[in-house]
Structure 1
Amino acid sequence: MFPEKYFEPLNYFAENLQDILDKDNPNIQKVVEKGLMLYRQSFVSQVKFSNEYIQAVVQDVTPVKVTLDLDYISNSNCTCHADGFCRHQLALFFYLLAQVGKVSSWLDTFRKPVSKSIDFNSLGIKRASDLLKETTEKEQSYQEWMKNLHTQFQLIMEANSEKPYMIAEMYYVYMRKIKLNSPRQTEWKLLYSVVSQVYTFNQLFLLSEKQDHSAQTINRYYRHILHDLISGIQNDLNKLSNFTFPFAFDDYLKHLRVDVENLLSIQPVLEFESIQLFRILWTNLFTNKSMRQEELEKRLTQESSSSFSEKIGIIHLLFLLQEDSEAMNRIQSHSTNITSYMLYWIDYLSSRRLWRRMDDYIPLFIQELKNYLAEIDDDDFCHEFTNMVIKSISPYCKAENKEDILEKVFIQTLPYSFRRYDDFLYTKNQLDKWIDLYTLAGYGIDYLGKDQLKTLQEYDSTLLISLYHRSIQDHIDEKNREHYRKAVRQLKKLRTLYKKQKNQQEFEQFLFILLDRTKRLRAFHEECRKGKLIHAEN
């Protein structure tokens, strides 16, 4: 089923595509027909929706991957690397359009002959309505943006705020409505999108406070919306980084900065989201050094009454200004609750390959990992957090040849890093540590593959023998036929290992003691007779 939230963007995309494609160009007409043919032959598959992006695989002579950006058509791409809008992108477009039943009407519009008219613009002549429209767009100020956003929020969101289960549904209606007011120029459209999403985030916070929504209510009905807003702002800022900011942006940024001053005063139930948004804005949008310095000085004067969120904000500004010594002193003054927030700074340094600065932050981060994970009562979160930590630190360890640092991370994050640490030790041929890891985790020889058993036997058969001893006892302790059979099979393999060492007598002594100790377990002895092990007792 086609998600409803994509209806409006798809209509906008379809209209833009009509304007972009040259209808009188025979080559363009052929591309459209080929795209239509690929769609009709059902060559579009694996369609995935991700925010404003839609991805799919189109089977041509060779399969290609297609991405459509419904908001910014120029960001759409295809792995065929053809110039302009290719047949594969059109095939996916027609596939999406068919979900809302508009393929034939779009084609009718495309195939209509373009009426020949005088291009007054080329002569420097414009209609009065066009001049009025341009003037209106130029005069659209930050305050007018805010007025429109406020009006729409009041009409759509506030009207249903007493019913928390309606918030998510109304949110998508509201977002479609405010997008209609977007400027036409790409950079202005991106800035408007950022401003509108920040405004919406703040208003949802005020709404939750006004209605006294509990953490449970927020989690159930609309915390995911706050995460979508943060993700959307980050995506828009990433796109905006490709543009040089015009001077006209300055006034808008100044007003936006005022609007986010109280972002860190949000109630504790939304603490993580508010800190994350604050850091994204000051990292990617408010990049002027003097602006950051001014903000830091302002917050330092109010530090005595600062909340935890506001203290994190101060540390972040110090971090951005590269005042690392002061930032680390403040980090050390906090308990393990700051550990999760440090990951953002580690990610920032790692993505920019600032290894020298990472030398200072990494030890602080690693030393608190174990205590932090011990306080979290959610295994899924701990696994996810551990994977993010390893992913963030690995490039630094590889670039600086500091595998010992990576190993410390593995140890501090056990048991959640078991599989990664297991692979690390086995690949590095550190088999003594590898076996110790399995023993510590309580995993027996049944968890090892044939290749691993062979490698271990070639490296040191005594390690393998010790594993078999422990595994045999574990199976016997289960006290059922299936495990007794497994114990007997492993006893026979153990006997083979002792034979290869020419130490069969030691195995016979071990078996004699084992059988004597388990003489009450008649089922086990019966399995030993079936496996022809009992004769060893004599």
Structure 2
Amino acid sequence: MLERGFDYYRREKVLSVQVMEGSSIYGAVKGTVIYAVTLDTDDFGFSTCTCPNTGYCKHMAAVFYAYYSYAGRSADEIHNRMLYGHALMDSPESKPAEVETSGGIAVAALGTETAPQQWMEEMDRKHGEVWRQCRHSLHPLQAVLLNIKAVSKAWDDRLRRLHWIHGIIFVLEQAERAYSITDTYSRYYYEMAFARMTEPWISQYYELVAELVPAEMTAPERTAVDHLIGMFHERDMDREHQLHRWESLYFSLWGRLVKDEAWTRAEVDWLRSKLESADTGVGLGTGGFFAPMALAFLDFEDGRDEEAIALLSKTVFNRTALLACDCALQRLEERDYRKLEGWIGYLYGGLTIERKSKAFGPFLSMCRLADIQQPDNPKWQQYLVSFLPHSYSALSEHWLDRKQFEQWADLQLLFGIEPDEMDVQLIREMSRLAPTALYPLYHQAIDGAIRSRNRQGYRQAVKLMKKLEKLYKAEKQADRWNRYVDGIVRKHGRLRALQEELWRGKIIT
């Protein structure tokens, strides 16, 4: 059983390992189906697996070995000790670990003194082909990331953080390779599935980067950060059909480094050289979109929003719109409405042409939030109204949140939305908060039903009139209700079938 479990571990069948409350180890193992394993470290006899076997099983053994790897121990050594009571002399783990560098020189195992370039070379040597196993899922990369993290588990916290950042970038690149070979027919499905899998890795990347403090960095840390920057420089940031927003990963790093003058000055020089290369037709792969975006971001971080917007205006809107959204959102959080208006104006101009841009949803959300924070500025609602009918849902919900019930009702009238087409809970809430706002909606729906000139339409009109009657009488407006009914009867006196339905529905007597 141990041998079969170790084989599962070596074949990377363990999809995840997690320690809970210090006494339980949870794992997911891919067998015939995916099995959930719980190892109870206080009393191993209470360990469980969802596979059909009773008692211990190979899935438990696989998670057992994966946990030791996760904890920074050699799973091979543990396996040999479990079977033979000692580590085998010819086991790689019983010899001083060596790493082949690109120059063919053997160096000591990875440690805090190892150069970041060697970190990446070791990752590529061990896991560089794992992406080929990701035909339908990125689960094999989860085990890769756990293995990479285990390497630096005992390092100094700050250097370990940088090693983990390198590791996350490595597995994200592996995910990109797997995504790049998907066929165009299934690409949308894979993009959604793969992005969900990598989302927690990206979140951890942002968390780790947010902990960087350039002013307190040691020389090895600065070397590692230099290597990170170099990795972004080397990759094609402008490539079409990428799984991740690599520019966001880059910007989050520079959000921490921008106050360091030496780093920023060198980066600006590099970006300008790329921008000049693009202008002269040399190196367009890198200078096309990324260089102006990056320079705009650095201007934004330095408070020069107008210069940043001017740079983005020279690019294709759809490629840089999400960066503009990020900048606008930050100014909104800072409540700097003067600068916010510049960003929203830029987005508005682009969205009037590129209505299907991914920035459309964030744009509407920011306009809504800005209108709540600054209700005396009519521009925010004007932006929402200007994009009708595409902004109907956002504007309708916004006016409800703002308790602008008359505007909300006018919007429903404009689009011909009838009460029966609305959520029942919404109608109940409106009947309680603003019943008079519902009157014109019912009036319009009743008129429309009568205009159908058939018995079914007349019955629908009577059904709506009975609901409207409750609203009028709840507001103690019985006289107004009676006048409304009299008007309907007089107006449609020649429609005998309608008169019959009104009588049957006890609207008239």
Asked if 1:375 is matched to 2:351, the reply is: no
Look up the match of 1:514: 492
Look up the match of 2:19: 10
Q: Deviations over 1:351-376 (max 9, x none)?
A: 4554443242232234444654x426
Per-residue deviation, 1:487? 3.1
Look up the match of 1:31: none
SS at 2:303's partner residue?
coil
SS at 1:375's partner residue?
coil
- Answer whether contact 2:325 2:363 (CA < 8 A) is retained: yes
Asked if 1:279 is matched to 2:256, the reply is: no
User: Equivalent of 1:101, from 26, 40, 61?
Assistant: 40
User: Equivalent of 1:342, from 303, 324, 334?
Assistant: 324
For residues 299-448 of structure 1, the aligned pairs below 5 Å read: 299-304=274-279, 305=284, 306-334=287-315, 336-337=317-318, 338-369=320-351, 372=354, 374-375=355-356, 386=361, 388-389=362-363, 392=366, 402-411=376-385, 412=387, 414-426=391-403, 430-445=404-419, 447=422
Per-residue deviation, 1:298? 2.7
Look up the match of 2:116: 142
Q: Deviations over 1:52-93 (max 9, x none)?
A: xxxxxxxxxxxxxxxxxxxxxxxxxxxxxxxxxxxxxxxxxx
- Answer whether contact 2:176 2:243 (CA < 8 A) is retained: no
SS at 1:290's partner residue?
helix
Distance 1:416 1:327 in 2: 31
Per-residue deviation, 1:484? 4.5
Look up the match of 2:447: 473
Distance 2:176 2:244 in 1: 13
Distance 1:226 1:502 in 2: 61
- Answer whether contact 1:215 1:269 (CA < 8 A) is retained: no
Counterpart residue identity of residue 169, structure 2: V
SS at 2:40's partner residue?
coil
Instruction: Give the number of the structure whose residues are more often helix, by fraction.
Output: 1
- Answer whether contact 1:339 1:365 (CA < 8 A) is retained: yes
Structure 1 residues 391 and 299: alpha-carbon distance in aligned structure 2, compared to 1, 3 A threshold: same
SS at 2:19's partner residue?
helix
SS at 1:248's partner residue?
helix
Counterpart residue identity of residue 443, structure 1: I
SS at 1:302's partner residue?
helix
Structure 1 residues 350 and 415: alpha-carbon distance in aligned structure 2, compared to 1, 3 A threshold: same
Look up the match of 2:222: 250
- Answer whether contact 2:275 2:292 (CA < 8 A) is retained: no
Structure 1 residues 214 and 485: alpha-carbon distance in aligned structure 2, compared to 1, 3 A threshold: same
User: Equivalent of 1:157, from 130, 133, 140?
Assistant: 130
SS at 1:268's partner residue?
coil
SS at 1:100's partner residue?
strand
Per-residue deviation, 1:480? 5.9
Counterpart residue identity of residue 156, structure 2: Q
Per-residue deviation, 1:190? 1.4
- Answer whether contact 1:350 1:393 (CA < 8 A) is retained: no
Counterpart residue identity of residue 167, structure 2: S
Per-residue deviation, 1:323? 3.3
Structure 1 residues 106 and 145: alpha-carbon distance in aligned structure 2, compared to 1, 3 A threshold: farther
Look up the match of 1:260: 232
User: Equivalent of 1:235, from 189, 195, 207?
Assistant: 207
Distance 2:370 2:146 in 1: 42
User: Equivalent of 1:298, from 273, 288, 292?
Assistant: 273
SS at 1:270's partner residue?
coil
- Answer whether contact 2:384 2:391 (CA < 8 A) is retained: yes
Q: Deviations over 1:161-197 (max 9, x none)?
A: 1x54266132122112212211522222211111111
Counterpart residue identity of residue 301, structure 1: E
Counterpart residue identity of residue 187, structure 1: R
Asked if 1:196 is matched to 2:196, the reply is: no
Per-residue deviation, 1:336? 4.8
- Answer whether contact 1:266 1:274 (CA < 8 A) is retained: no
- Answer whether contact 1:293 1:321 (CA < 8 A) is retained: no
Counterpart residue identity of residue 238, structure 1: A
Per-residue deviation, 1:482? 6.3
Q: Deviations over 1:205-235 (max 9, x none)?
A: 35655x5754734427634445444323112
Look up the match of 1:528: 502
SS at 1:165's partner residue?
coil
Unaligned runs of 5+ residues in structure 2 are 1-12, 28-35, 47-95, 97-107
- Answer whether contact 2:138 2:197 (CA < 8 A) is retained: yes
Distance 1:253 1:106 in 2: 47
* Structure 1, 495-504 or 437-446: larger mean CA deviation: 495-504
- Answer whether contact 1:425 1:433 (CA < 8 A) is retained: no
Per-residue deviation, 1:149? 1.0
Distance 1:272 1:174 in 2: 19
For residues 472-491 of structure 1, the aligned pairs below 5 Å read: 472-476=446-450, 477=452, 479=456, 483-490=460-467
Distance 2:178 2:503 in 1: 75
Per-residue deviation, 1:255? 1.7
- Answer whether contact 2:469 2:481 (CA < 8 A) is retained: no
Please give the root-mean-square deviation of Cα atoms over the aligned residues, in Å.
4.3
Counterpart residue identity of residue 325, structure 2: L
Distance 1:281 1:106 in 2: 47
Counterpart residue identity of residue 464, structure 2: A
- Answer whether contact 1:336 1:368 (CA < 8 A) is retained: yes
Q: Deviations over 1:86-145 (max 9, x none)?
A: xxxxxxxxxxx99223232699xxxxxxxxxxxxxxxxxxxxx9xxxx997342221221
